[in-house]
Structure 1
């Protein structure tokens, strides 16, 4: 009979403790992976953008998505769709880098739609990001380099 082992956190919730690579793919237990983003971190919007940009620049869009996910879960209700849309952009880039072009394009377009209604909150370049996402989604035909394709989240660099 196959053992059904599930990793649990200190409170008994299921948490996958397997190491992950830079694109968030699980590696075998004992392998050396990329340090994971801590969950549930409350940051200011500016800190979230800065940390996510650092991770995107390093070619780690999966990890940037986790930063955006924390912002969407801890931020004000009025901004949840913004942060969820940014997380979808990061996951779209993750899928594109993994070679899942159809899923990547779908998430890039969904994320662009999710952020489009926001007028550049927290210095986020909404127009630039939506243009980037639509352009990338339109040309996906194989795996992309996540760091080379990383967007600029703000117009300030």
Structure 2
């Protein structure tokens, strides 16, 4: 590998494989396929792909999907997608055992989303409640499993209208 890995456009981008929580692995190790960057998806495609990744215990990768949405979508929707990305990164840190960072990002995302109207079928108020409750458990030292704690973006998991399994 070069001293600094680059993507096809010449931008700095680590070529190291990553695990399901986005942690870098040694070169040559078997990792989880990375999300392509800069993909323009419809809001429905964004939520569907992010939910799939959350349900699979890969919130780091879901954050990348939300990041694409905030960078490629209309500026008026950017705060929603940015807040959702913060929730995904908060869950990532919590599952990695970083209680301080996990709780902080979960609360930051919840604060960014608080008071926003539901959009694109996303249960904003439900996600705000989920994030604040999880932040408290993270701070209390509870071990967090990313797949088990994954929120339903359009409602509680396992309920009518909720996309994820119970």
TM-score class, shorter: over 0.9
Q: Which residue matches 1:100? A: 98
Determine which of 131, 134, 137 is the counterpart of 2:135.
Answer: 137
Matched, 1:15 2:21: no
Say what the alpha-carbon RMSD is for the aligned residues. Answer: 1.3
1:73 is paired with a residue whose SS is helix
Alpha-carbon separation, structure 1, partners of 2:77 and 2:116: 9
Unaligned 5+ residue runs, structure 1? none
- Residue 20 of structure 1, CA deviation: 0.1
Q: Is the 8 A contact 1:19 1:29 kept in 2?
A: yes
Alpha-carbon separation, structure 2, partners of 1:73 and 1:11: 18
- Residue 142 of structure 1, CA deviation: 4.4
Q: Which residue matches 1:53? A: 51
Q: Is the 8 A contact 1:100 1:143 kept in 2?
A: no
Q: Which residue matches 1:116? A: 114
TM-score, normalised with respect to structure 2: 0.90
2:85 is paired with a residue whose SS is helix
Unaligned 5+ residue runs, structure 2? 156-160
Q: Is the 8 A contact 1:98 1:143 kept in 2?
A: no
Q: Which residue matches 1:85? A: 83
- Residue 47 of structure 1, CA deviation: 0.5
Alpha-carbon separation, structure 1, partners of 2:115 and 2:37: 27
Q: Which residue matches 1:75? A: 73
TM-score, normalised with respect to structure 1: 0.96
- Residue 143 of structure 1, CA deviation: 3.5
- Residue 4 of structure 1, CA deviation: 7.6
The superposition leaves residues 17-74 of structure 1 with CA deviations (integer Å, 9 ceiling, x where unpaired) of: 1000000000000000000100000000011001000000000000000000000000
Alpha-carbon separation, structure 1, partners of 2:12 and 2:69: 21
Matched, 1:146 2:146: yes
- Residue 117 of structure 1, CA deviation: 3.1
Moved over 3 A (4+): none
- Residue 12 of structure 1, CA deviation: 1.4
